[in-house]
Amino acid sequence: MAKPHPFHSIHTHGFVRVGACTPRASVGDCAANADATIALAKDGHAQGADLLVFPELNITSYAIDDLHLQTAQHRATEAAIAAVVAASAKLRPVLIVGAALPRNGRLYNCAVIIARGRILGVVPKIFLPNYREYYEKRWFASGVGLTDCEITLAGQTAPFGTDLIFAASDLPHFIFHAETCEDFWAPTPPSTMGALAGALICCNLSASNIVVGKARERAMLCAAQSARAMCAYVFSAAGPGESTTDLAWDGQAMIHELGDLLAESNRFNRASEIIFADVDAERIAQERMRVGTFNDAARLAGNPELAFRRIAFDHKPDFKDTGLRRETRRFPFVPNTPEKLDQDCYEAFNIQVEGISKRFEAARAERLVIGVSGGLDSTHALIVAAKAMDRLGLPRSRILGFTMPGFATSEHTKDNAWALMRALGIDGDEIDIRPAARQMLGDMGHPFAQGEPAYDVTFENVQAGLRTDYLFRLANQRGGLVVGTGDLSELALGWCTYGVGDQMSHYAVNAGVPKTLIQFLIRWCIRTDQYDRDTDAILEAILATEISPELVPAGADGAIQSTEARIGPYALNDFFLHYVVRHGMAPSKIAFLALHAWRDASAGRWPRDFPVAGRAEYDLATIAGWLEKFLVRFFATSQFKRSAIPNGPKVSSGGALSPRGDWRAPSDGTARVWLEELARGLP
């Protein structure tokens, strides 16, 4: 059998597969707990896990009260750990298990890190709860201040202390830290220092009995810690099997990454369970490089990396294809869940409305001037402008909409433009640009003027330029402000005419909104009754129209000029854009993610209201082909257009392309580095 190409392995692309385990517990039966731990470790191995996190004191049991202080219990615990260590020798995952361990006349509540038959280290709990139902200080000593220590356990001597982080020597970005339960309820969780010292994955072994509302609080703390410490956070709480003398247990397990929930367990599950997620550790490292505050915090904390011991281990990844255990959204600018989609659309739409409203007031303009083509972008800019007039208490007739048919304008789009202007009640007019275009082409000696079907870039840009030229002069004449209609996707691809063209306006209200999001914003406006039924009907018709610049006449077969046939599907281009601008990912990794997001139209979730007929799928060859074209357009040919864009509001945290905001790049750059990386990384 041929060896699989490393492109298909998560490890090639900086992912680490983590699991949060909730074994069926016992009440102090260490041998039984070891068996349950080993069974889950074997399951994790079969599932390709790199790291498994178990609950607090899962080897010893948590709710055994004064039995923690019994010598027989200590010996049983050590024997159980020895059994887990022996079983781990032939297993892939690093195991983080919980045990109560005596050392130097004290008993510590510990996280024990085990890999391939070796105890890598032991981390004692720092914060011991001693309030309400908790009495941990009755049994345990805090690990606070214990650094540069060792412990002898199960026949091995291992590092002991709160100054440990663990790093694979053969898998970049597999770097983790462990803390226990109450540690992350404290105002200063130890994992914060671990993250500042370099750990990308922070783990919490928790017992954490359940009371009403506590699951929400745990989820909030996990999400907040993963966001604030810029890390992945793996949390595992004790489940059924622990003593219910006075408490109950729900087995809540969660995996978060930079504030986002990747996986969660079935609570109150009487069977053992592991939840898995592929943590993008490389993405976390990239995010830390982007946010200088992270480094500032490390400096203010005294550079924790100097105080921590970094324990190295050989992980021995095999770079097999084990799939991808995380949801990868097809539309990274568009949430999958209805509630998040509604919230994002509400915010995006109102950001745009507020942006154009403020600029209109600041410019002391009398009118908003906008070219209305009947396409998506001008439609969205127009409905934003209409809402701005409503909010300012001004009549919509203060908007001057112009349809400007050219050589390839269809009656369908022109009719839609007029219908929309009438439905919204704006002041509409029409200027036929063909006579002026013929005059300009004739003055230039262009072959089209002599009747030849010469539809080159000059032919196209004469039309695009005249439209913008008219709009600016109309704005001069009527005290207006030209509203730009071009979107973020077009700026990324350079799919706009520079200078006197659709690249320029007085205010680029759509410049922060990608094409894929615009479609959902229009659907949101329809669904939430932002306008009347007549307007909604026209918006539906525009959404169903193929995207086209309508600059080149239809061919002999009647086929119109298709934007996506020329530059690629906007769904893919927006996917590429997000991961290049927001995360700085290598092209081969972007291709890997795109393949998992788009290769099967029947898999995963689609955002609400996305038409079934439009649910496409793409294979790797198609993705790679369009990605290569995107890289050339984005890095080599289009930056000069972005360097001179007009003002416009940033809308998405996914990024914007204004040189005054998110994106600064040379206009004379090259795409070679990205193209070569893509070529090297693909099978």
pLDDT band, very low/low/confident/very high, at 133 (cuts 50, 70, 90) = confident
Q: Is 30 an active-site residue?
A: no
Report the pLDDT value the prediction gives residue 220, as an integer from 0 to 100.
96
Query: What is the arithmetic mean of pLDDT over 66-79?
Result: 97
**Quick check: 46 pLDDT over 70?**
yes
Q: Are 96 and 113 in contact (CB under 8 A)?
A: yes
Task: Tell how far CA 478 is from the center of its chain.
Answer: 44
Report the pLDDT value the prediction gives residue 2, as an integer from 0 to 100.
67
CA distance 404 to 463: 9
Q: Is 222 an active-site residue?
A: no
Is the Cα dihedral 580, 628, 636, 14 positive or negative? Answer: positive
pLDDT band, very low/low/confident/very high, at 337 (cuts 50, 70, 90) = confident
Average pLDDT, the chain: 95
Query: What is the arithmetic mean of pLDDT over 372-383?
Result: 96
Model confidence pLDDT, tens digit, residues 320-333: 999 999 999 999 99
- List the structure tokens of 464: 């695009």
Q: What does DSSP assign to residue 271?
A: S
Phi-psi region of 364 (alpha: psi -120 to 50; beta: other; left: phi over 0): left
List 21, 30, 110, 181, catalytic entry: 181
Report the pLDDT value the prediction gives residue 554, as an integer from 0 to 100.
80
Report the pLDDT value the prediction gives residue 40, as an integer from 0 to 100.
98
**Quick check: 307 pLDDT over 60?**
yes
Report the pLDDT value the prediction gives residue 551, as an integer from 0 to 100.
85
Which of 94-103, 131-140, 280-289, 348-357 is predicted least confidently?
131-140
Q: Is 339 an active-site residue?
A: no
| Extended strands (E) in 116-252 | 118-124, 149-153, 156-160, 164-168, 175-180, 201-206, 232-237
Closest C-alpha to 440, from 462, 415, 416? 462
Report the pLDDT value the prediction gives residue 496, as an integer from 0 to 100.
95
pLDDT band, very low/low/confident/very high, at 546 (cuts 50, 70, 90) = confident
**Quick check: 555 pLDDT over 80?**
no
Q: What does DSSP assign to residue 634?
A: I
List 30, 110, 125, 242, catalytic entry: 125
CA distance 373 to 430: 11
pLDDT band, very low/low/confident/very high, at 549 (cuts 50, 70, 90) = confident
Report the pLDDT value the prediction gives residue 560, as an integer from 0 to 100.
75
Task: Tell how far CA 387 is from the center of its chain.
Answer: 30
Q: What does DSSP assign to residue 25?
A: P
- List the structure tokens of 584: 């700085």
Residues 22-56 as b/e (b if ≥16 CB within 10 A, e otherwise) read bbbbbbbbbebbbbbbbebbebbbebbbbbbbbbb
Q: Are 538 and 420 in contact (CB under 8 A)?
A: yes
Q: Are 355 and 494 in contact (CB under 8 A)?
A: no
| Residues 6+ away with beta carbon under 8 Å from 235 | 20, 53, 203, 204, 206, 218, 222, 252, 253, 254, 255, 256
pLDDT band, very low/low/confident/very high, at 419 (cuts 50, 70, 90) = very high
Query: What is the arithmetic mean of pLDDT over 234-245?
Result: 92
Report the pLDDT value the prediction gives residue 1, as an integer from 0 to 100.
56
Q: What does DSSP assign to residue 240?
A: B
Q: Please provide residue 76's backbone torsions phi and psi, each rounded to the nearest 5 degrees.
A: -65, -35
Report the pLDDT value the prediction gives residue 356, as an integer from 0 to 100.
98
List 21, 30, 56, 387, catalytic entry: 56
Model confidence pLDDT, tens digit, residues 465-476: 999 999 999 999
Query: What is the arithmetic mean of pLDDT over 8-27?
Result: 96
**Quick check: 640 pLDDT over 80?**
yes
Task: Tell how far CA 429 is from the center of its chain.
Answer: 43
Report the percent of the chain where pLDDT is more than 70: 99
Q: Structure pTM?
A: 0.94
**Quick check: 508 pLDDT over 60?**
yes
